[in-house]
């Protein structure tokens, strides 16, 4: 918004953008049939809103107003450009005809964002492109944020997104609800998207705030809708995992927004209703005997939720679950998390040996949590020189300000 806009209007429009822009974009993509055209229409709609709402006031249904304005702005743009490309006039005529004939009765998925998730996760797209495109278009994550989630370079992610859009356009991938027989083959990518979105909200990759509740809430909302659509064990497992992690949000930061480690969290602040819901879903997923890695991760989170404090946590079961998870889904990040459980069960030397093996492989050389974990093991063993070097490396790698302040505090404590 421009600086000269009246503050109350700017605040209202900004709030509507944060709340509804992704919903509006998803609907515009469905209506206009093109990502880039829909994004341009979205920005045009909000620009028009600033002008008209200043005069007429904010409408009763701003989302519907923005969708309508964006659609007709797109038609106007197409007509202006039709002077140079006659085919655009045909597109404009068809969009206008669709607008006149459209009804509000949609079949299948009720939310356009969930439709958009499945479109972005079309099997014709590469797996990494599916996730990157969904995070960008559905959840409005910046390219840099997606790159952090992928442990990749922003330029690489930007190229994936551009290529995915081109593929959708060139292959004429339809923006429609998958048939029930098609849903399972797209499920793995959709679950991965939701998991990454939730993680970015639960532990933001950069910025001033440790968490982004809007992203976590969006992932949980989509997870609930997906469970209604496709009640598969791994959908239950992922939703359970998100609920159990979300249950600890209030205890993860103090009143100043600073990081509070698990061992120091006030467990009375944990949301017992979310924990109960998560545990029920785990039980249902486990009973199916068709569960996968998300259900195992949820079971790990449940062990934390059931413990009165850190020492009384069932660390032996925790290590066993991590072993099962590694067999099912080998990952250096899972191995890193296992090293923490191993250190709690067998002592920091065992944890240090495990994390050193991971770092020696080179897979997590630029992952700040790997170096922070090593630093903590060294600190507990009294190896302060090594702890300092590892904390400094972690500090150089993290982009999240509360984590930076926490690591700086650890370095001061070593002094």
Task: Write out the chain's pLDDT in tens, 415 residues.
Answer: 444 455 688 888 889 998 888 889 988 888 888 888 888 999 999 999 988 898 888 998 998 899 988 888 888 777 776 555 555 555 545 555 555 455 443 333 356 877 888 888 888 898 889 888 988 888 788 888 888 766 689 999 999 999 999 999 888 887 776 777 777 777 888 898 888 888 877 775 555 555 677 778 878 988 998 888 788 999 999 999 999 999 999 898 888 878 898 999 999 999 999 999 999 999 999 999 889 999 999 999 999 999 999 999 999 999 999 999 999 999 999 999 999 999 999 999 999 999 999 999 998 999 999 999 999 999 999 999 999 999 999 999 998 888 899 999 999 999 8
The DSSP output letter for 136 is H
The DSSP output letter for 251 is G
Note the pLDDT of residue 355: 97
Distances, alpha carbon 371 to alpha carbons 81, 169, 352, in Å = 54, 43, 11
Strand partners, 207: 400
Tokens read off for 389: 């070097």
Tokens read off for 90: 């045909």
Q: Which long-range contacts (CB under 8 A, 24 or more apart) does 146-149 make?
A: 148/205, 148/206, 148/399, 149/196, 149/199, 149/200, 149/205
Residue with structure tokens 């993290």?
398
DSSP-based three-state secondary structure for 207:
strand
Torsion of CA 177, 63, 166, 91, to 10 degrees: 90
* Contact present, 371 and 388 (Cβ < 8 Å): no
Note the pLDDT of residue 107: 39
User: Cα angle vertex 121, ends 115, 127, to 5°?
Assistant: 165
Torsion of CA 178, 183, 186, 190, to 10 degrees: 90
CATH architecture of the domain with range 314-415: Alpha Horseshoe (1.25)
Q: At what angle do helices 143-150 and 154-170 cross, to 10 degrees?
A: 100
Domain range list for the chain: 7-101, 314-415
The verdict on pTM exceeding 0.85 is: no
Note the pLDDT of residue 368: 95
Give the count of alpha carbons within 13 A of 130, CB side only.
20
């Amino acid at each position: 918004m421009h600086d000269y806009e009246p503050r109350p209007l700017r605040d209202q429009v900004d709030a509507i953008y944060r709340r509804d822009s992704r919903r509006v974009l998803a609907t515009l993509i469905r209506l206009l049939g093109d990502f880039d055209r829909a994004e341009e229409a979205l920005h045009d709609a909000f620009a028009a809103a600033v002008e008209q709402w200043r005069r007429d006031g904010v409408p009763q249904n701003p989302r519907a107003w923005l969708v309508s304005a964006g659609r007709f702005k797109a038609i106007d743009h197409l007509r202006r450009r039709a002077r140079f490309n006659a085919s655009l006039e045909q597109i404009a005529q068809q969009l206008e005809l669709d607008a006149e004939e459209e009804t509000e009765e949609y079949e299948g998925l009720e939310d356009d964002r969930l439709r958009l998730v499945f479109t972005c996760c079309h099997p014709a797209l590469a797996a990494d492109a599916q996730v990157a495109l969904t995070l960008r278009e559905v959840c409005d994550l910046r390219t840099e944020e997606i790159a952090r989630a992928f442990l990749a370079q922003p330029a690489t992610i930007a190229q994936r997104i551009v290529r995915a859009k081109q593929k959708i356009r060139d292959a004429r991938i339809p923006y429609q609800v998958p048939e029930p027989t098609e849903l399972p083959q797209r499920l793995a990518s959709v679950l991965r998207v939701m998991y990454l979105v939730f993680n970015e909200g639960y532990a933001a990759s950069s910025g001033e705030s440790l968490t982004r509740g809007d992203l976590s809430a969006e992932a949980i909302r989509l997870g609930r809708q997906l469970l209604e659509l496709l009640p598969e064990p791994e959908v239950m497992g992922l939703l359970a995992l998100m609920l159990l992690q979300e249950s600890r949000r209030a205890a993860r930061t103090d009143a100043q927004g600073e990081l509070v480690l698990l061992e120091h969290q006030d467990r009375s602040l944990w949301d017992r209703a979310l924990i109960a819901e998560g545990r029920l879903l785990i039980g249902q997923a486990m009973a199916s005997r068709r569960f996968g890695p998300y259900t195992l991760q949820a079971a790990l989170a449940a062990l934390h939720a059931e413990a009165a404090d850190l020492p009384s946590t069932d660390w032996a079961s925790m290590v066993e679950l991590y072993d099962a998870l590694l067999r099912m889904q080998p990952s250096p990040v899972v191995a890193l998390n296992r090293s923490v459980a191993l250190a709690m069960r067998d002592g920091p030397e065992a944890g240090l040996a495990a994390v050193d093996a991971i770092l020696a492989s080179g897979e997590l050389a630029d992952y700040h949590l790997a170096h922070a974990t090593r630093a903590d093991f060294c600190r507990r063993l009294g190896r302060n020189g090594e702890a300092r070097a590892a904390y400094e490396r972690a500090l150089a790698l993290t982009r999240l300000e509360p984590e930076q302040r926490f690591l700086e505090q650890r370095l001061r404590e070593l002094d």
